[in-house]
Structure 1
Amino acid sequence: LLPRVAPGGPGRLDPVGVTLLGAGILAVMLPLVLAESGGLTKAWWLFPAGALVLVAFARWERRVARRGGQPLLEPGLLTETRGYATGAGLAALYFVGFSGVWLVFALFFQNGLGYSPLMSGLAVTPFAVGSAVAAAVAGRLVERLGRLLTVWGLVAVMVGLGATALLLWLAPSDLAAWLAAPALLLGGLGSGCVISPNITMTLRDVPVRMAGAAGGALQTGQRLGGAVGTAALPGLFYLTLNATHDDYHEAVALSVGTGVAAMLCALTVAVRDWHRDRHGGDGNCPPETSHSHTHAGQN
Structure 2
Amino acid sequence: MLWLRLTYIVLNVLVALLLAPLLHGIERKVKAKVQNRIGPPILQTIYDLSKLYRRAPIGYSIASWILISMSFSYALILTLLVPTAFNVSLGFTSDLVLVIYLLTSTSVLMALAAIAGASPYSGVGSSREASLVMAIELVIAFIIGTLAVSYGVFTLPKLLPIWDLGFKPSVLGALTLLAILTYIEGLRLPFDIPEAEPEIASGVYVDFSGRILAAALHTHLLRRLLVTSLFIDFLLPREWFYFKLGGYLIDLSIVPYLIIIVLVSVIYAVTEALFGRYRIDVALKLLKAMAIMSLGVMVLAFAGY
Is this a same-fold pair by TM over 0.5? no
**TM-score normalised according to structure 2 size:** 0.29
**TM-score normalised according to structure 1 size:** 0.29
**Higher-helix-fraction structure:** 1
